[in-house]
Amino acid sequence: MKTRLTELLGIEKPIICGGMMRVGTAELAAAVSNTGALGTMTALTLPTPELLREEIKKCQSLTDKPFAVNLTVGVVASEINYDDYVDVICESGVKIVETAGRSPEPFMEKFNAHGIKVIHKCVAVRHALKAERLGVAAVSIDGFECAGHPGEEDVPGLVLIPAAANKISIPIVASGGIADGRGLVAALALGADGINMGTRFLATQEAPVHENVKKAIVDMNETQTSLIFRSYKNTARVYKNSVATKVIEIEKAGGAFSEVHGLVSGKMQDIAWTTGDVDAGMVTFGMCGGLVEDVPTCKELVDDIMSDANQIINERLASMVSS
């Protein structure tokens, strides 16, 4: 399938496995890229720039196809020297970067100088327009259904993606609520040039999380996510577990973020990912978990999405058009 996104990134299939903190390893990124889609390593999964350098080398040894590095700026509590991470990315030969969080403006000159294509994640059309003015190569439009931080405006992808397509001239990646070939076709119909999936790739054999986490995705339905941090103006969509319920209770009582920090810390999320205790910490799933029914390999998943998308386009939709 050829789209502006596949042409821009040099990939075969218009599918991206988005950056996921603590999950975006070299092994998962390479497994996705080897399918012809685009895998993404997550820079801040590595606690130092030196370790990121080694992880990029590992990924380069596992695939000869394009992969991206995610750099999420300004949403981590600890002190991080982003310039050091940017230097490592630029020196590594990586040619695609996914940025999220704050504006990538401070790093665009260096990324452009090294021929790196930047895909910036946006939750509002105005953010996408600003990113386009900064010179990013593409924007990822995150609808309200997405896992993680959907912003504060609560606009779902069915409206947000075409609203962006009406005003943006660079390629658009649809993100949030997508888990199968139907989602890919819908995204293309709405004006996107490809899709980004996180939760769906969590439920694959190569994802470095406990099998109980993957089972929780398979077993959940579309109503089993919660919105937390609303009172802190930093809304996050997470799995509806005991931690999410407790955080919401504290927020309703007027509690400060310091009162929930221990519940939602990265340390507690690591425990959930590695032990399979999905009530141990904040577990980041999107609404599309309700569409996930199995735990395939990355290749099986991507092949199924492409096969289903082609069937929908060439058979179901084509049969509805009168000659």
| pLDDT mean over 83-103 | 96
Query: Regarding predicted confidence, which is higher, 254 or 76?
Result: 254
Element (H, E) at 4: helix 4-9
Rounded to whole angstroms, the Cα distance separating 50 from 69 reads 15
Rounded to whole angstroms, the Cα distance separating 258 from 69 reads 31
pLDDT for position 268: 94
Which of 228, 225, 173 has the alpha carbon at shortest distance from 199?
A: 225
Residue 75 pLDDT exceeds 70:
no
pLDDT for position 322: 73
Residue 85 pLDDT exceeds 70:
yes
CB-based contacts of 214: which residues, under 8 Å, 6+ apart?
202, 203, 204, 207, 295
SS (H, E, C) 154-200: CCCHHHHHHHHHCCCCCCEEEECCCCCHHHHHHHHHHCCCEEEECHH
What's the pLDDT band for 198 if we cut at 50, 70, 90?
Answer: very high
Rounded to whole angstroms, the Cα distance separating 120 from 128 reads 8
CB-based contacts of 199: which residues, under 8 Å, 6+ apart?
147, 179, 217, 285, 286, 288, 289, 292
Residue 18: phi and psi, rounded to 5, are: -70, 165
| pLDDT mean over 265-270 | 92
pLDDT for position 79: 77
Rounded to whole angstroms, the Cα distance separating 22 from 45 reads 5
pLDDT for position 30: 98
Residue 134 pLDDT exceeds 60:
yes
Residue 323 pLDDT exceeds 90:
no
| pLDDT mean over 162-173 | 98
Rounded to whole angstroms, the Cα distance separating 139 from 225 reads 25
- Please tell me the least confidently modeled range out of 140-144, 160-164, 249-253, 264-268: 264-268
Rounded to whole angstroms, the Cα distance separating 37 from 31 reads 9
> What rounded mean pLDDT belongs to the chain?
96
Element (H, E) at 267: helix 266-275
Write the pLDDT tens digit of every residue in 110-121: 999 999 999 999
Domains and CATH numbers, the chain: 4-208+295-319 (3.20.20.70), 211-287 (no CATH)
Query: Checking DSSP bridges between strand 117-122 and strand 67-73, what pairing results, if any?
Result: unpaired
pLDDT for position 76: 53
Write the pLDDT tens digit of every residue in 203-242: 999 999 999 999 999 999 999 999 999 999 999 999 999 9
pLDDT above 90 coverage of the chain, percent: 96
pLDDT for position 74: 77
Residue 69: left (phi > 0), alpha (psi -120 to 50), or beta? beta
| pLDDT mean over 35-62 | 97
Write the pLDDT tens digit of every residue in 271-307: 999 999 999 999 999 999 999 999 999 999 999 999 9
pTM here is 0.96
Q: Rounded to whole angstroms, what are the CA distances from 269 to 69, 242, 282, 283?
A: 21, 13, 6, 6
Rounded to whole angstroms, the Cα distance separating 98 from 171 reads 14
pLDDT for position 228: 97
